[in-house]
């Protein structure tokens, strides 16, 4: 009897061990297991995703796109030299100081077999030396071919003897919300890092950071990813990873990329013309959710509400007018301002587009020829100014100065628009080049005075903090 009891207990105990082992080692958990490594601050994670009804992540093959992309994405090192005081006396009296090299890193994408590389302007800004490391660890000195701060795109060139792996530009207009994408770059100097996500939104406006339209994704992007590739599952380059929204400086779920159609156009312009050819429509508008839009009852408009039309522009020649609501450009439906900006940014002066507008309930399709911008947005304050034409010189009785034709939201209400700007901090302005240089030299944190003249010939002086 004792033997039977012993065998029974052994069997029960053995069965429990077997069942526990199966649960522990063979059955896959459906939750994340996270352990922290206190030595280096990295986290080990284990996660088995569940597929929703329809297409799930397990039905998408990322491997080919990832393999092709990592070999075409490079590590960019930016060396800048800064100088500053090294002693308290140098700090107090502003003399002496020493030069110190500073190193920044980012990513880039090879776009041709002979070594042209696209990256972000902020990755290479103020560089005294640029170094590029390929995925095979070969390192090259890079030359800056050209840059466009407005779109945050820069073009580099390395002299490689062998043909290099590269990515072809895809059509970012064809990207769909919900489509799977991969972000490839070098976050925190972790080279050849691939993350996956979906297109969360298109034509995203970052609230005045730039006059730009971005692709938003939830693929993890961190410092060092800037300038890297955003590709679809076919391996087509549909964006250049540029920014994140974060209160910590690290990824919290939102990342943004310059659409490939904009980046491609900038690159082509730099290679062919040496600078970016910007075609403008020539309209002024007001962005949604601003006090002006709410107060004037245009916050709920589906499209772009035209508040004014610039003289000598394509919109002026096509007789667009205040109160028109722009609904479509060519085949692109326009719901908001970034939809328009994203498409116009791919065009050049001389290009003709078809603009669909709603004018007091009537739908009109108007051909518009884009022109080169005759105005300039000055640094810091963001005022848009233009050179005086003969009519302006006669009306304001001055041959020097620039006319204010656009005012950002933060300076509306001061009565600036339409007046002639004569001086900044008592330094005379002759033309838009002078305005750019003078405004570029003022501090964001000090006081700035501007001298203007109105249509009555009266001089006005305003001081801004």
Who wins on pLDDT, 413 or 231? 231
Catalytic residue among 172, 226, 255, 313: 226
pLDDT (0 to 100) of residue 198: 96
User: Residue range 434-444: average pLDDT?
Assistant: 82
pLDDT (0 to 100) of residue 441: 81
pLDDT (0 to 100) of residue 58: 57
Who wins on pLDDT, 260 or 287? 260
Who wins on pLDDT, 289 or 459? 459
Q: Looking at the predicted structure, is the pLDDT value of residue 89 above 60?
A: no
Catalytic residue among 107, 122, 236, 324: 122
User: Residue range 444-456: average pLDDT?
Assistant: 86
Instruction: Compute φ and ψ for 186, nearest 5 degrees.
Output: -130, 65
pLDDT (0 to 100) of residue 106: 94
What would the pLDDT profile of 266-282 be if each residue is shown by its tens digit? 999 999 988 888 898 99
> Burial letters for 51-90: b for 16+ Cβ neighbours within 10 Å, e otherwise?
eeeeeeeeeeebeebbebbbbbbbbbbbeeeeeeeeeeee
What would the pLDDT profile of 111-137 be if each residue is shown by its tens digit? 999 999 999 999 998 888 999 999 999
Average pLDDT, the chain: 82
Model pTM score = 0.69
For the range 62-67, what are the long-range contacts, defined as Cβ-Cβ under 8 Å and sequence gap of 24 or more? Answer: 62/180, 62/182, 62/194, 62/196, 62/233, 64/235, 65/182, 65/231, 65/232, 65/233, 65/234, 65/235, 66/182, 66/184, 66/194
- 152 carries an active-site annotation: yes
pLDDT (0 to 100) of residue 33: 25
Distance CA 88, CA 84 (A): 11
At 353, list the tokens: 């587009």
- 122 carries an active-site annotation: yes
Q: Looking at the predicted structure, is the pLDDT value of residue 2 above 50?
A: no
- Helix, coil or strand: residue 177: coil
Who wins on pLDDT, 410 or 215? 215
Instruction: Compute φ and ψ for 27, nearest 5 degrees.
Output: -80, 125
End-to-end, the C-alpha distance of the chain in Å comes to: 97
Catalytic residue among 148, 152, 205, 218: 152
At 54, list the tokens: 């329809």
Which residues, at least 6 apart from 334, have a Cβ–Cβ distance to it below 8 Å?
303, 304, 326, 327, 328, 340, 343
Specify whether the CB–CB gap between 216 and 203 falls below 8 A: no
**Could you say which DSSP state residue 32 is in?**
-
At 126, list the tokens: 């103020």
At 74, list the tokens: 């490079």
- Helix, coil or strand: residue 269: helix
* Three-state secondary structure string covering 382-393: CCEEEECCHHHH
Q: What is the largest CA-CA distance in the chain?
A: 121
Q: Which of 250, 256, 257, 226 is nearest to 43 (CA)?
A: 250
Q: Which of 18-32, 166-180, 331-345 has the lowest mean pLDDT?
A: 18-32
Q: pLDDT category, 45, cuts 50, 70, 90? A: very low
pLDDT (0 to 100) of residue 382: 86
Q: Which of 267, 252, 169, 179 is nearest to 215 (CA)?
A: 179
Q: Looking at the predicted structure, is the pLDDT value of residue 149 above 70?
A: yes
User: Residue range 130-158: average pLDDT?
Assistant: 93
Q: Looking at the predicted structure, is the pLDDT value of residue 175 above 90?
A: yes
């Amino acid at each position: 009897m004792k033997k039977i009891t012993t065998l029974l207990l052994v069997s029960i105990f053995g069965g429990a061990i077997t069942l526990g082992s199966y649960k522990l080692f063979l059955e896959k958990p459906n939750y994340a297991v996270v352990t922290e490594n206190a030595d280096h601050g990295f986290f080990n994670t284990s996660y088995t995703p569940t597929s929703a009804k329809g297409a799930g992540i397990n039905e998408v093959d990322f491997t080919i796109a990832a393999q092709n992309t990592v070999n075409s994405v490079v590590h960019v090192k930016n060396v800048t030299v800064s100088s500053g005081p090294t002693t308290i006396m140098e700090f107090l009296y502003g003399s002496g100081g020493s030069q110190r090299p500073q190193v920044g890193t980012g990513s880039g994408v090879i776009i041709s077999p002979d070594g042209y590389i696209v990256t972000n302007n902020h990755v290479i800004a103020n560089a005294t030396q640029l170094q590029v490391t390929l995925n095979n660890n070969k390192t090259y000195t890079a030359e800056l071919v050209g840059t466009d701060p407005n779109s945050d795109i820069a073009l580099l060139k390395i002299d490689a003897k062998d043909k290099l792996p590269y990515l072809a530009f895809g059509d970012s207009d064809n990207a769909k919300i919900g489509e799977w994408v991969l972000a490839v770059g070098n976050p925190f100097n972790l080279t050849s890092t691939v993350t996956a996500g979906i297109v969360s939104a298109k034509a995203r406006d970052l609230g005045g950071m730039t006059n730009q339209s971005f692709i938003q994704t939830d693929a993890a992007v961190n410092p060092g990813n800037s300038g890297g590739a955003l590709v679809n599952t076919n391996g087509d380059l549909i964006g250049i990873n540029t920014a994140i929204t974060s209160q910590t400086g690290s990824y919290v779920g939102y990342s943004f990329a310059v659409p490939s159609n904009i980046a491609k156009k900038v690159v082509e312009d730099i290679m062919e013309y040496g600078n970016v050819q910007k075609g403008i429509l020539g309209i002024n508008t007001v962005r949604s959710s601003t006090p002006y839009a709410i107060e004037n009852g245009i916050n709920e408009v589906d499209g772009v509400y035209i508040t004014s039309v610039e003289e000598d522009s394509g919109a002026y020649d096509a007789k667009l007018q205040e109160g028109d609501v722009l609904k479509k450009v060519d085949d692109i439906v326009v719901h908001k301002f970034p939809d328009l900006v994203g498409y116009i940014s791919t065009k050049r002066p001389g290009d003709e587009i078809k603009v669909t507008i709603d004018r007091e309930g009537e739908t009109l399709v108007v051909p518009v020829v884009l022109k080169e911008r005759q105005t300039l947005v000055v640094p810091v304050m963001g005022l848009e100014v233009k050179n005086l034409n003969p009519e302006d010189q006669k009306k304001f009785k001055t041959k020097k100065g620039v006319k204010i034709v656009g005012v950002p939201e933060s300076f509306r209400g001061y009565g600036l628009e339409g007046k002639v700007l004569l001086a900044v901090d008592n330094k005379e302005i002759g033309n838009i080049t002078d305005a750019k240089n003078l405004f570029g030299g003022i501090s964001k944190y000090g006081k700035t005075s501007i001298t203007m003249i109105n249509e009555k010939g009266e001089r006005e002086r305003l001081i801004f903090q």
